[in-house]
């Protein structure tokens, strides 16, 4: 079986471009570059004018993700040069470099390159922090080479027998090379964490159900020295976590609450509250339950566990980054199926915190498993609670697959997340929730109902969640539109994206301990 994440060794090297030796040298070029930029004159000369000749033809326009392969003549140390488009010079962001690096390695893998030299950032302006440049390039390569192939036989034509890649980022300036190298180390951890989330989220519903997800969590916890406690259905019953139990009641695979703890504080006190609790929705398959979904696109509902997979991956990332924080990860896991034991429309559930919820639609199950987990999160009195969930189709309609919806009750927290989004390239868009939306969720026969009508339903779903965090600073990310994709891009494969893993790791990296 081929690996989903092929081995990628990333290094930084100070060799000047004309002297670089590799199977392929990758150069980043802005859009509409007609004349060779001065920083590339020497390498172009060494490569027998291969680059300037191509630019003169106008065949390569330099738009983002465009590639062109050149075969330099003469004694140049690289047999191939690849130009990768960086798009508009003015609109270049760190994420442009991340994606360009992904595009480069994917194109390189197609021709079986083993040794690659990367000079994508040579032309970019000095204002960009070299640390972030190194991090983004490294992340882009690790995320770019990922392909889910757990179930592809070696003989299958789609199976990618991608070999080990040794990629060297070229930075002749010593001070910048040092910083790029520091970013490289972070980038490896964040890229791998994201791929870890993708590999679990990509697994199908016949492999991952609540108990097997819990086993996966236990295994990873052991590997990364995290604490892990799993509450099974009996313990959930004892605690009266009736919302999680109701959602999982239709399946033979019973629900679980997976509790992970990363303790990185230098002088830990057992009783000290966590700096953050992160909560992720893990519906291992969402058929809709008795309010069954149409069959079209139902297969994509194996990705309804993405929030939970992200939480698992984020905790492993924290352990590798060795951040001086205490962070709790909560993963409520259930399978939403119709059967004679399922919960039904009209049921009234008494949730873990005592609030009652009238069920209007069993397909609005994410908010139910989350409400019990959020109550549990608030009980630990953390500084912040963050949750990630493929919660609503309405959020997909509102924002498409380009950004996650950001909701919550605390503006400073939202601003920090927006900053982390700019760094990680995992964009968020601030959305409203609050009293008006909460009013939609009121029931005449219970404290709340689980559906508040079609209008603004991503916002009313968020308002519902907000009822379970008490006054803790809280942010909710609706990742329904971004967690998976059926579109392959030049810089990454289709399937689970792991969107949110780097975003939250960046946020947690920015937390100062007190
Ligand atoms: N898991 C879905 C949300 C979803 C939809 C995720 C599309 C990814 C893509 C969620 O459990 C759901 O079914 N929500 C319903 C709620 C409705 C019944 C109030 C929705 O959004 O349609
Ligand atoms: Zn649903
Ligand atoms: Zn769902």
Quick: pLDDT tens for 165-184: 999 999 999 999 999 999 99
**The ligand 1 atom nearest the CA atom of 484:** 8
**pTM, to two decimals:** 0.97
Rounded (10°) CA dihedral 374, 333, 454, 465? 0
- Whole-angstrom Cα distance, residue 24 to residue 117? 6
Start-end ranges of CATH 3.40.220.10 in the chain? Answer: 7-198
Measure CA 269 to chain center: 31
> Is-contact 433 318, C-beta < 8 A?
no
- Whole-angstrom Cα distance, residue 156 to residue 177? 41
Contact residues for 354 (Cβ-Cβ < 8 A; gap 6+): none
Q: By percentage, how much of the chain surpasses pLDDT 70?
A: 99
- Asked if the model's pLDDT at residue 463 lies above 90, the reply is yes
Which fold would CATH assign to domain 202-343+362-435+454-510?
Answer: Aminopeptidase (3.40.630)
Start-end ranges of CATH 3.40.630.10 in the chain? Answer: 202-343+362-435+454-510
80-84, 120-124, 156-160, 327-331: range with lowest mean pLDDT: 156-160
Mean pLDDT value across residues 347-376: 98
Per-residue DSSP letters for 253-274? S--EEEEEEEE--SS--TTPPP
Helix, strand, coil shares of the chain as percentages rounded to 5? 35, 20, 40
What per-residue confidence (pLDDT) applies to 271?
A: 80
DSSP letter (8 states) at residue 287: -
Q: Coil, strand or helix: which one is 151? A: coil
Residues involved in catalysis: 293, 367
Nearest ligand to the C-alpha atom of residue 282? 3
Query: Given ligand 1 and candidates 201, 302, 393, which is best to mutate, with the most ligand atoms within 8 Å of its CB?
Result: 393
If phi > 0 it is left, if psi is from -120 to 50 it is alpha, else beta; for residue 32 that is left
What per-residue confidence (pLDDT) applies to 495?
A: 98
**Distance from Cα 398 to the centre of ligand 1, integer Å:** 13
Each residue of 82-104: pLDDT tens digit? 999 999 999 999 999 999 999 99
**Distance from Cα 353 to the centre of ligand 1, integer Å:** 24
Residue 193, ligand 1, Cβ within 6 A: no
Main-chain dihedrals φ then ψ at residue 62, nearest 5 degrees: 80, 15
Residue the block writes with tokens 């971004």: 482
Each residue of 391-425: pLDDT tens digit? 999 999 999 999 999 999 999 999 999 999 999 99
Each residue of 259-312: pLDDT tens digit? 999 999 988 787 899 999 999 999 999 999 999 999 999 999 999 999 999 999
Could you say which architecture CATH assigns to the domain 7-198?
Answer: 3-Layer(aba) Sandwich (3.40)
Length of the chain: 514
- Give the β-pairing of 326-336 and 276-280: parallel
């Amino acid at each position: 079986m081929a690996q989903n994440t092929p081995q990628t060794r990333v290094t930084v090297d100070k060799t000047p471009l004309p002297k670089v030796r590799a199977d392929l040298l990758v150069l980043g070029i802005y859009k509409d570059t007609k004349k060779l930029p001065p920083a590339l004159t020497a390498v172009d000369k060494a490569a027998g004018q291969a680059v300037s000749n191509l630019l003169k033809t106008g065949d390569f326009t330099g738009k983002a993700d465009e590639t062109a392969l050149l075969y330099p003549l003469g004694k140049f140390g690289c047999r191939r040069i690849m130009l990768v488009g960086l798009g508009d010079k003015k609109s270049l962001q760190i994420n442009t470099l991340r994606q360009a690096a992904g595009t480069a390695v994917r194109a390189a893998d197609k021709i079986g390159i083993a040794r690659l030299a990367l000079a994508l950032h040579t032309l970019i302006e000095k204002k960009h922090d070299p640390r972030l440049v190194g991090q983004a390039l490294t992340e882009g390569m690790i995320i770019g080479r990922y392909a889910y192939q757990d179930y592809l036989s070696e003989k299958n034509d789609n199976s990618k027998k991608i070999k080990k890649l040794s990629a060297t980022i070229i930075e002749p300036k010593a001070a910048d090379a040092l910083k790029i190298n520091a970013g490289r180390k972070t980038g490896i951890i964040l890229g791998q964490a994201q791929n870890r989330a993708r590999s679990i989220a990509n697994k199908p519903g016949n492999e991952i159900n609540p108990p097997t997800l819990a086993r996966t969590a236990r295994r990873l916890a052991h590997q990364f020295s995290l604490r892990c406690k799993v509450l099974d259905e009996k313990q959930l019953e004892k605690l009266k976590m009736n919302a999680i139990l109701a959602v999982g009641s239709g399946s033979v695979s019973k629900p679980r609450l997976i509790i992970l703890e990363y303790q990185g504080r230098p002088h830990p006190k057992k009783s000290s509250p966590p700096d953050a609790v992160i909560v992720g929705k893990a519906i291992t398959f969402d058929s809709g339950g008795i309010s069954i979904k149409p069959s079209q696109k139902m297969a994509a509902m194996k990705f309804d566990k993405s929030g939970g997979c992200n939480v698992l991956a984020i905790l492993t990332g924290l352990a590798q980054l060795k951040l001086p924080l205490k962070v709790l990860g909560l993963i409520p896991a259930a399978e939403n199926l119709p059967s004679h034991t399922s919960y039904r429309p009209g049921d009234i559930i008494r949730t873990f915190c005592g609030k009652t919820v009238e069920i209007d639609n069993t397909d609005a199950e994410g908010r139910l498993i989350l409400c019990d987990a959020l109550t549990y999160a608030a009980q630990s009195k953390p500084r912040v609670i963050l949750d990630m969930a493929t919660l609503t189709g309405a959020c997909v309609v509102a924002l498409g697959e380009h950004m996650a919806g950001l909701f919550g009750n605390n503006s400073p927290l939202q601003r920090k997340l927006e900053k982390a989004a700019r760094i990680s390239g995992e964009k968020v868009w601030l959305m409203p929730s609050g009293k008006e939306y909460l009013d939609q969720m009121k029931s005449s026969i219970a404290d709340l109902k689980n559906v508040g009508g079609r209008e603004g339903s991503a916002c009313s779903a968020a308002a519902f969640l907000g009822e379970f965090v008490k006054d803790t600073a809280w942010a909710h990310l609706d990742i329904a539109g971004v967690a998976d994709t059926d579109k392959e891009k030049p810089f990454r494969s289709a399937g689970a994206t792991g969107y949110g893993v780097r975003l939250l790791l960046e946020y947690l990296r920015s937390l100062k301990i007190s």
